[in-house]
Amino acid sequence: MKSINPANGKLIGEYSEHTVNQCDEIVGQVHQAWKLWKQTSFEERKRLMLSAAGILRKNKDKYARLMTDEMGKLIKESLAEVEKSAWVCEYYAENAEEFLKDEIIKTDAGKSFVSFEPIGPVLAVMPWNFPFWQVFRFAAPALMAGNACVLKHASNVPGCALAIERIFKEAGFPENLFRTLMIPGSLVENVIKNEKIMAVTLTGSELAGSKVAELAGKHLKKIVLELGGSDPFIVLKDADIAKCAEVAVFARMLNCGQSCIAAKRFIVEKEIAEEFTILVKKQMELLKPGAPSNPETNSGPMARPDLVEEIDLQVQKSIKMGAKLLLGGRKMVGDGFYYEPTLLTEITPEMPVFAEETFGPVLAIMKVENAAEAIKIANSSNYGLGGCIWTKDIEKGTHYARQIESGAVFVNGMTKSDPRLPFGGIKKSGYGRELSHYGIKEFVNIKTVWVG
């Protein structure tokens, strides 16, 4: 398993993969650790989880550099990701006990209640684009609920995967309670079918999600899926256009556009479309691709060369179908996996940059007649992860937010994840929820206790 620096294409390191037998042995060790862990108090779990948060903050420069080196994230974004990972640890450390307290239900019994109890080892199949945050937003609630964790991370971020395992060990969590499997996707089925794995969570592509869901269903394992997104960014004619344009570029270009909840379909009322486009273009002209380790860089590389090829294919097909290219539109020559920040207009619904999920630094603008058409276009997607709508009329914005088919809608703000709010999608963006009190209850036994 190789780790390649996307900024220069050079090998960082090579890692030995686990065999099938080694995977089974590790899962068995995790299960043994869980038998003791599930009996620990919330006070003890809290102490250790806060210790993990402290380790993250104490070593944030080291972990941020690791993320930047392995998947090309801008160093300032990597630093922010470490901080957010620490935050989710603290959030569940402070709130898990309250979230999982017994719920008293009045019935004909002398006493009846619902308890929320741990179920066992949970397998997490995680992506490369947020290599720390994605793991911690799963692990913090899972461990605080009394479960154990088995991580199968993306193959291009093995250093991050092992670093996270070490963080939990250093924090004082029991040996083997959190383990990383260094395996390719082809061995995931073997792990899912292991009788000691009780549930699966996956963040990734629609294709990966469908395959893992099929396997989990075959072996009767509970699963949560957070898959692709093609989030609408709706700009109504009464919006603050200058603010909209500024946020639009940030929301699209964060992590070089490689985010499930990045704004991807920019749907703008025709009266203000030209003004919005001009302001967006000015913002995008300030983006200068460079080394992500340089704090001054504002546009980094993509994570892998195949991702560069894929986004370029979507752009070129869309141009052939009539899209107007205002900026970029080319693979960059030289070391590393870079694609020019790209701006397209005159977009129609059937173009790849609008109809498909785009993972890369490409912003595509479509004009619509009115708000009703904007909502219709927004809901025409097979995805339903997030979205946002911009208007000075808060009541109107809230009204339209209820009509958008997605797991989250932000009015006058970019879509983002927050430990306090549930996160997840509908349609082909997956099912189940992470974060908030909803997320921690996905992997517990919701048990009825009736006392006569």
| Cβ pair 443, 199 in contact under 8 A | yes
**Which pair of structure tokens corresponds to residue 452?**
């006569």
Cα–Cα distance, 199 to 151 (Å, whole number):
12
The verdict on whether 23 is a catalytic residue reads no
| Cβ pair 318, 353 in contact under 8 A | yes
Catalytic one among 23, 89, 149, 260?
Answer: 260
User: 257: which DSSP letter?
Assistant: G
Cα–Cα distance, 31 to 148 (Å, whole number):
7
Cα–Cα distance, 179 to 190 (Å, whole number):
16
| Cβ pair 191, 27 in contact under 8 A | yes
Catalytic one among 70, 90, 206, 226?
Answer: 226
Cα–Cα distance, 47 to 167 (Å, whole number):
14
Mode of pairing for the β-strands spanning 362-368 and 342-345: parallel
Nearest to 232 by CA among 87, 342, 354: 354
The verdict on whether 226 is a catalytic residue reads yes
Nearest to 234 by CA among 102, 399, 435: 399
Q: Which residues are catalytic?
A: 226, 260
